[in-house]
Amino acid sequence: MEKILRTFFLFLSKNRILTKMAKKYGLRFGASKFVAGETIEEAIRVIKELNNKGLSVTIDFLGEFVDSEKEANVMADNSIRAIEAIRGEELNSQLSLKLTSMGLDISEDLVLYNMRRIMDAAGKNNVFVTIDMEDYARCEKTLHIYKVLKSEYANIGTVLQAYLYRTEQDINDLDKYSPNLRLVKGAYKESAEVAFPVKEEVDENFKKMIATHILNGNFTAVATHDETIIEYMKQFVLEHKIDNDLFEFQMLYGIRSDRQLELVNEGYNMRVYVPYGTDWYGYFMRRLAERPANVAFVLKGLLKK
Ligand SMILES: Cc1cc2nc3c(=O)[nH]c(=O)nc-3n(C[C@H](O)[C@H](O)[C@H](O)COP(=O)(O)OP(=O)(O)OC[C@H]3O[C@@H](n4cnc5c(N)ncnc54)[C@H](O)[C@@H]3O)c2cc1C
Protein backbone atom coordinates (compact mmCIF):
# COMPACT_ATOMS: atom_id res chain seq x y z
CA MET A 1 0.00 0.00 0.00
CA GLU A 2 2.82 2.40 0.99
CA LYS A 3 4.50 1.80 -2.36
CA ILE A 4 1.28 2.55 -4.25
CA LEU A 5 0.76 5.80 -2.33
CA ARG A 6 4.37 6.81 -2.93
CA THR A 7 3.99 6.26 -6.67
CA PHE A 8 0.67 8.12 -6.62
CA PHE A 9 2.06 11.21 -4.86
CA LEU A 10 5.17 11.27 -7.04
CA PHE A 11 2.85 11.09 -10.07
CA LEU A 12 0.79 14.00 -8.68
CA SER A 13 3.97 15.99 -8.00
CA LYS A 14 4.60 16.14 -11.76
CA ASN A 15 1.11 17.38 -12.68
CA ARG A 16 1.37 20.79 -14.31
CA ILE A 17 -2.32 21.71 -14.08
CA LEU A 18 -2.45 21.02 -10.34
CA THR A 19 0.83 22.92 -9.89
CA LYS A 20 -0.68 25.99 -11.61
CA MET A 21 -3.92 25.71 -9.61
CA ALA A 22 -2.05 25.41 -6.32
CA LYS A 23 -0.11 28.61 -7.13
CA LYS A 24 -3.40 30.49 -7.48
CA TYR A 25 -5.05 29.21 -4.34
CA GLY A 26 -2.27 29.67 -1.81
CA LEU A 27 -0.77 27.38 0.82
CA ARG A 28 -3.41 24.76 1.60
CA PHE A 29 -4.10 21.23 2.77
CA GLY A 30 -1.51 21.37 5.52
CA ALA A 31 1.30 22.44 3.19
CA SER A 32 2.28 25.18 5.67
CA LYS A 33 3.65 22.40 7.89
CA PHE A 34 6.47 21.96 5.34
CA VAL A 35 6.60 25.35 3.58
CA ALA A 36 7.62 28.48 5.50
CA GLY A 37 5.29 30.84 3.63
CA GLU A 38 4.65 32.32 0.23
CA THR A 39 6.75 35.47 0.62
CA ILE A 40 10.35 36.15 1.61
CA GLU A 41 9.06 38.16 4.60
CA GLU A 42 7.25 35.09 5.93
CA ALA A 43 10.34 32.95 5.35
CA ILE A 44 12.56 35.47 7.18
CA ARG A 45 10.29 35.28 10.23
CA VAL A 46 10.58 31.48 10.28
CA ILE A 47 14.37 31.55 9.77
CA LYS A 48 14.84 34.00 12.64
CA GLU A 49 12.87 31.68 14.95
CA LEU A 50 14.99 28.69 13.87
CA ASN A 51 18.25 30.65 14.21
CA ASN A 52 17.23 31.74 17.71
CA LYS A 53 16.99 28.05 18.65
CA GLY A 54 20.53 27.37 17.42
CA LEU A 55 19.53 25.89 14.05
CA SER A 56 21.16 27.07 10.85
CA VAL A 57 19.15 27.17 7.65
CA THR A 58 19.31 26.74 3.92
CA ILE A 59 16.56 28.68 2.17
CA ASP A 60 14.93 27.56 -1.08
CA PHE A 61 12.68 29.68 -3.29
CA LEU A 62 10.37 27.00 -4.69
CA GLY A 63 9.85 26.66 -8.41
CA GLU A 64 8.69 23.79 -10.65
CA PHE A 65 8.29 23.58 -14.44
CA VAL A 66 10.20 26.59 -15.71
CA ASP A 67 9.41 26.70 -19.45
CA SER A 68 10.80 30.02 -20.66
CA GLU A 69 13.89 32.15 -20.40
CA LYS A 70 11.80 34.86 -18.75
CA GLU A 71 10.56 32.50 -16.00
CA ALA A 72 14.11 31.24 -15.35
CA ASN A 73 15.38 34.81 -15.05
CA VAL A 74 12.62 35.66 -12.56
CA MET A 75 13.55 32.56 -10.51
CA ALA A 76 17.18 33.68 -10.45
CA ASP A 77 16.13 37.23 -9.45
CA ASN A 78 14.20 35.73 -6.53
CA SER A 79 17.21 33.70 -5.41
CA ILE A 80 19.33 36.87 -5.53
CA ARG A 81 16.68 38.63 -3.44
CA ALA A 82 16.90 35.77 -0.93
CA ILE A 83 20.71 36.13 -0.79
CA GLU A 84 20.37 39.86 -0.15
CA ALA A 85 17.80 39.18 2.58
CA ILE A 86 20.17 36.71 4.26
CA ARG A 87 22.84 39.39 4.45
CA GLY A 88 20.47 42.30 5.16
CA GLU A 89 18.64 40.50 7.98
CA GLU A 90 21.86 38.89 9.26
CA LEU A 91 20.37 35.40 8.97
CA ASN A 92 22.37 32.26 9.59
CA SER A 93 21.36 30.79 6.26
CA GLN A 94 22.66 29.37 3.04
CA LEU A 95 20.75 29.14 -0.26
CA SER A 96 19.55 26.01 -2.06
CA LEU A 97 18.20 25.94 -5.60
CA LYS A 98 17.26 23.65 -8.46
CA LEU A 99 18.95 24.04 -11.84
CA THR A 100 15.69 23.38 -13.72
CA SER A 101 14.41 26.62 -12.15
CA MET A 102 17.41 28.43 -13.59
CA GLY A 103 16.76 27.14 -17.12
CA LEU A 104 18.56 23.77 -17.21
CA ASP A 105 15.98 22.28 -19.59
CA ILE A 106 16.15 25.30 -21.90
CA SER A 107 19.88 25.76 -22.52
CA GLU A 108 23.27 25.45 -20.86
CA ASP A 109 23.99 29.11 -21.66
CA LEU A 110 20.87 30.21 -19.82
CA VAL A 111 21.48 28.12 -16.71
CA LEU A 112 25.11 29.28 -16.54
CA TYR A 113 24.09 32.91 -17.09
CA ASN A 114 21.61 32.75 -14.20
CA MET A 115 23.91 30.74 -11.94
CA ARG A 116 26.78 33.18 -12.46
CA ARG A 117 24.47 36.07 -11.54
CA ILE A 118 23.49 34.19 -8.38
CA MET A 119 27.05 33.17 -7.54
CA ASP A 120 28.31 36.74 -7.97
CA ALA A 121 25.65 37.95 -5.53
CA ALA A 122 26.41 35.04 -3.19
CA GLY A 123 30.14 35.85 -3.26
CA LYS A 124 29.49 39.53 -2.54
CA ASN A 125 27.18 38.68 0.37
CA ASN A 126 29.20 35.74 1.67
CA VAL A 127 26.42 33.18 1.21
CA PHE A 128 27.00 29.49 0.43
CA VAL A 129 24.90 27.98 -2.38
CA THR A 130 23.90 24.33 -2.80
CA ILE A 131 22.58 22.94 -6.07
CA ASP A 132 19.85 20.42 -5.21
CA MET A 133 19.86 17.16 -7.16
CA GLU A 134 16.78 16.42 -9.23
CA ASP A 135 15.78 13.28 -11.13
CA TYR A 136 18.22 10.83 -12.73
CA ALA A 137 17.65 12.24 -16.22
CA ARG A 138 19.21 15.51 -15.05
CA CYS A 139 21.95 14.13 -12.81
CA GLU A 140 24.77 14.15 -15.38
CA LYS A 141 23.89 17.66 -16.59
CA THR A 142 23.64 18.94 -13.02
CA LEU A 143 27.05 17.56 -12.10
CA HIS A 144 28.53 19.06 -15.28
CA ILE A 145 27.19 22.54 -14.38
CA TYR A 146 28.38 22.07 -10.80
CA LYS A 147 31.93 21.28 -11.98
CA VAL A 148 32.00 24.32 -14.29
CA LEU A 149 30.83 26.62 -11.47
CA LYS A 150 33.05 25.02 -8.82
CA SER A 151 36.10 25.88 -10.90
CA GLU A 152 34.97 29.54 -10.82
CA TYR A 153 33.47 29.90 -7.32
CA ALA A 154 34.48 28.40 -3.97
CA ASN A 155 31.17 28.82 -2.16
CA ILE A 156 29.16 26.21 -4.03
CA GLY A 157 28.13 22.65 -3.23
CA THR A 158 25.76 20.04 -4.56
CA VAL A 159 23.88 16.88 -3.61
CA LEU A 160 24.38 13.17 -4.28
CA GLN A 161 21.65 10.56 -3.87
CA ALA A 162 22.30 7.19 -2.21
CA TYR A 163 19.64 5.41 -4.26
CA LEU A 164 21.58 5.79 -7.52
CA TYR A 165 24.09 3.12 -8.58
CA ARG A 166 26.26 5.80 -10.16
CA THR A 167 26.77 7.74 -6.91
CA GLU A 168 29.73 5.70 -5.68
CA GLN A 169 31.61 6.59 -8.86
CA ASP A 170 30.44 10.25 -8.66
CA ILE A 171 31.86 10.61 -5.13
CA ASN A 172 35.25 9.47 -6.37
CA ASP A 173 35.11 11.63 -9.52
CA LEU A 174 34.15 14.73 -7.55
CA ASP A 175 36.86 14.25 -4.93
CA LYS A 176 39.37 16.32 -6.96
CA TYR A 177 37.04 19.34 -6.54
CA SER A 178 37.11 18.97 -2.70
CA PRO A 179 33.37 19.33 -2.81
CA ASN A 180 31.04 20.28 0.00
CA LEU A 181 28.30 17.71 -0.54
CA ARG A 182 24.86 17.11 0.90
CA LEU A 183 24.20 13.36 0.94
CA VAL A 184 20.57 12.20 0.74
CA LYS A 185 18.65 9.00 -0.03
CA GLY A 186 16.89 10.50 -3.08
CA ALA A 187 13.35 11.79 -3.54
CA TYR A 188 12.32 10.94 -7.12
CA LYS A 189 10.75 7.89 -8.75
CA GLU A 190 13.57 6.05 -10.51
CA SER A 191 13.71 2.69 -12.29
CA ALA A 192 15.64 -0.33 -11.01
CA GLU A 193 17.94 0.16 -14.01
CA VAL A 194 19.49 3.22 -12.35
CA ALA A 195 18.55 3.02 -8.66
CA PHE A 196 18.53 0.48 -5.83
CA PRO A 197 14.93 -0.72 -5.57
CA VAL A 198 15.24 -1.97 -1.97
CA LYS A 199 15.40 0.43 1.02
CA GLU A 200 18.05 -1.64 2.84
CA GLU A 201 20.36 -1.34 -0.18
CA VAL A 202 19.85 2.43 -0.30
CA ASP A 203 20.61 2.69 3.41
CA GLU A 204 23.80 0.61 3.04
CA ASN A 205 24.92 2.75 0.11
CA PHE A 206 24.17 5.90 2.13
CA LYS A 207 26.53 4.74 4.89
CA LYS A 208 29.19 3.86 2.34
CA MET A 209 28.90 7.31 0.72
CA ILE A 210 29.20 9.06 4.08
CA ALA A 211 32.32 7.08 5.00
CA THR A 212 34.05 7.60 1.63
CA HIS A 213 33.29 11.30 1.39
CA ILE A 214 34.23 12.28 4.92
CA LEU A 215 37.38 10.14 4.95
CA ASN A 216 38.38 11.92 1.73
CA GLY A 217 38.46 15.00 3.98
CA ASN A 218 35.48 16.71 2.37
CA PHE A 219 32.66 18.55 4.15
CA THR A 220 29.71 16.21 4.55
CA ALA A 221 26.11 17.21 5.16
CA VAL A 222 24.09 14.17 6.17
CA ALA A 223 20.54 15.09 5.18
CA THR A 224 18.15 12.54 6.64
CA HIS A 225 15.41 11.99 9.19
CA ASP A 226 16.39 8.35 9.55
CA GLU A 227 17.50 7.61 13.09
CA THR A 228 19.62 4.62 12.01
CA ILE A 229 21.69 6.80 9.67
CA ILE A 230 21.94 9.58 12.29
CA GLU A 231 23.23 7.07 14.86
CA TYR A 232 25.65 5.61 12.29
CA MET A 233 27.02 9.11 11.65
CA LYS A 234 27.41 9.92 15.34
CA GLN A 235 29.29 6.66 15.90
CA PHE A 236 31.41 7.15 12.79
CA VAL A 237 32.63 10.64 13.70
CA LEU A 238 33.42 9.46 17.21
CA GLU A 239 35.44 6.46 16.02
CA HIS A 240 37.32 8.44 13.38
CA LYS A 241 37.77 11.56 15.55
CA ILE A 242 36.12 13.76 12.91
CA ASP A 243 35.90 17.45 13.87
CA ASN A 244 32.46 19.04 14.18
CA ASP A 245 33.37 21.59 11.52
CA LEU A 246 33.73 18.84 8.87
CA PHE A 247 30.12 17.69 8.96
CA GLU A 248 26.57 18.64 9.81
CA PHE A 249 23.11 17.11 9.94
CA GLN A 250 20.35 18.50 7.78
CA MET A 251 16.59 18.00 7.94
CA LEU A 252 13.57 19.48 6.22
CA TYR A 253 11.47 22.22 7.80
CA GLY A 254 8.53 20.71 9.66
CA ILE A 255 9.92 17.18 9.87
CA ARG A 256 11.22 15.82 13.20
CA SER A 257 11.52 19.36 14.58
CA ASP A 258 12.06 18.03 18.12
CA ARG A 259 14.94 15.81 16.97
CA GLN A 260 16.50 18.79 15.20
CA LEU A 261 16.68 20.64 18.52
CA GLU A 262 17.94 17.58 20.40
CA LEU A 263 20.85 17.25 17.97
CA VAL A 264 21.74 20.91 18.49
CA ASN A 265 21.61 20.39 22.24
CA GLU A 266 23.87 17.35 21.86
CA GLY A 267 26.41 19.71 20.28
CA TYR A 268 25.99 18.87 16.59
CA ASN A 269 25.60 21.36 13.75
CA MET A 270 22.08 21.10 12.41
CA ARG A 271 20.79 22.85 9.29
CA VAL A 272 17.11 23.09 8.36
CA TYR A 273 16.01 23.25 4.72
CA VAL A 274 13.38 26.00 4.57
CA PRO A 275 11.36 26.24 1.36
CA TYR A 276 9.06 29.17 0.60
CA GLY A 277 7.15 30.60 -2.36
CA THR A 278 3.86 30.15 -4.17
CA ASP A 279 5.11 27.11 -6.12
CA TRP A 280 4.79 24.77 -3.13
CA TYR A 281 2.69 22.00 -4.70
CA GLY A 282 5.38 19.66 -6.17
CA TYR A 283 7.57 19.94 -3.07
CA PHE A 284 4.57 19.17 -0.85
CA MET A 285 3.62 16.10 -2.92
CA ARG A 286 7.19 14.72 -2.69
CA ARG A 287 7.03 15.06 1.12
CA LEU A 288 3.73 13.17 1.18
CA ALA A 289 5.23 10.46 -1.03
CA GLU A 290 8.02 9.96 1.52
CA ARG A 291 5.56 9.42 4.31
CA PRO A 292 1.99 8.67 3.37
CA ALA A 293 1.16 8.99 7.10
CA ASN A 294 1.36 12.73 6.44
CA VAL A 295 -1.78 12.38 4.36
CA ALA A 296 -3.57 12.84 7.68
CA PHE A 297 -2.48 16.50 7.49
CA VAL A 298 -4.00 16.80 4.05
CA LEU A 299 -7.29 15.34 5.21
CA LYS A 300 -7.37 17.69 8.20
CA GLY A 301 -6.61 20.60 5.82
CA LEU A 302 -9.46 19.56 3.54
CA LEU A 303 -11.91 19.28 6.40
CA LYS A 304 -11.02 22.79 7.57
CA LYS A 305 -11.93 24.35 4.18
C1 LIG B 1 17.97 18.91 3.96
C2 LIG B 1 17.50 17.96 2.91
C3 LIG B 1 17.75 18.25 1.58
C4 LIG B 1 17.34 17.36 0.58
N5 LIG B 1 17.70 17.61 -0.72
C6 LIG B 1 17.40 16.68 -1.67
C7 LIG B 1 17.85 16.82 -3.01
O8 LIG B 1 18.53 17.78 -3.38
N9 LIG B 1 17.50 15.84 -3.91
C10 LIG B 1 16.76 14.74 -3.54
O11 LIG B 1 16.51 13.88 -4.38
N12 LIG B 1 16.34 14.61 -2.27
C13 LIG B 1 16.61 15.53 -1.34
N14 LIG B 1 16.17 15.35 -0.06
C15 LIG B 1 15.16 14.30 0.24
C16 LIG B 1 15.78 12.95 0.48
O17 LIG B 1 16.31 12.44 -0.70
C18 LIG B 1 14.72 11.97 1.02
O19 LIG B 1 13.70 11.83 0.08
C20 LIG B 1 14.12 12.39 2.34
O21 LIG B 1 15.03 13.00 3.18
C22 LIG B 1 13.52 11.17 3.06
O23 LIG B 1 14.52 10.24 3.33
P24 LIG B 1 15.17 10.03 4.79
O25 LIG B 1 16.64 9.98 4.63
O26 LIG B 1 14.68 11.06 5.71
O27 LIG B 1 14.76 8.57 5.23
P28 LIG B 1 13.42 7.74 5.15
O29 LIG B 1 13.85 6.30 5.20
O30 LIG B 1 12.53 8.19 4.04
O31 LIG B 1 12.72 8.14 6.50
C32 LIG B 1 13.22 7.77 7.78
C33 LIG B 1 12.26 8.26 8.84
O34 LIG B 1 12.22 9.68 8.84
C35 LIG B 1 10.91 10.15 9.06
N36 LIG B 1 10.43 10.88 7.85
C37 LIG B 1 10.96 10.82 6.61
N38 LIG B 1 10.29 11.60 5.75
C39 LIG B 1 9.29 12.15 6.45
C40 LIG B 1 8.25 13.06 6.13
N41 LIG B 1 8.07 13.55 4.90
N42 LIG B 1 7.39 13.42 7.14
C43 LIG B 1 7.56 12.94 8.39
N44 LIG B 1 8.54 12.08 8.75
C45 LIG B 1 9.38 11.69 7.80
C46 LIG B 1 10.09 8.92 9.36
O47 LIG B 1 10.11 8.68 10.72
C48 LIG B 1 10.81 7.83 8.64
O49 LIG B 1 10.56 6.57 9.14
C50 LIG B 1 16.62 16.19 0.95
C51 LIG B 1 16.39 15.90 2.29
C52 LIG B 1 16.82 16.75 3.26
C53 LIG B 1 16.59 16.39 4.69
Q: Does residue 21 share a domain with residue 7?
A: yes
Which ligand 1 atom sits nearest the alpha carbon of residue 226? 32
Q: How far away, in angstroms, is 152 Cα from ligand 1 center?
A: 31
Q: Does residue 170 share a domain with residue 62?
A: yes
Q: Which domain holds residue 287?
A: 1-27+280-305
Q: Does residue 145 share a domain with residue 123?
A: yes
DSSP H or E run through 248: strand 247-252
Which ligand 1 atom sits nearest the alpha carbon of residue 96? 8
Domain count, the chain: 2
Q: Of the listed 132, 170, 203, 279, which one is catalytic?
A: 132
Cα 154 from chain centroid? 19
CATH of residue 121's domain is 3.20.20.220
Q: Does residue 284 share a domain with residue 267?
A: no
**Cα 92–Cα 178–Cα 129 angle in degrees, nearest 5:** 30
Q: Is 250 a pocket residue for ligand 1 (Cβ < 6 Å)?
A: yes
Q: Does residue 167 share a domain with residue 291?
A: no
**Residue (of 140, 151, 69, 143) closest to 110 by Cα position:** 69
Q: Does residue 14 share a domain with residue 157?
A: no
Q: Does residue 287 share a domain with residue 218?
A: no
Catalytic site includes residue 173: no
Q: Does residue 222 share a domain with residue 252?
A: yes
Q: Does residue 290 share a domain with residue 164?
A: no
Q: Does residue 302 share a domain with residue 236?
A: no
pLDDT tens over the chain, length 305 residues: 667 666 766 666 666 666 665 665 655 666 778 899 889 999 999 999 999 999 999 999 998 778 899 999 999 999 999 999 999 999 999 999 999 999 999 999 999 999 999 999 999 999 999 999 999 999 999 999 999 999 999 999 999 999 999 999 999 999 999 999 999 999 898 999 999 999 999 999 999 999 999 999 999 999 999 999 999 999 999 999 999 999 999 999 999 999 999 999 999 999 999 999 888 777 777 777 777 666 665 555 555 44
Q: Does residue 287 share a domain with residue 272?
A: no
Q: Does residue 293 share a domain with residue 228?
A: no
Q: Assess contact for 102 and 72: CB atoms under 8 A.
A: yes
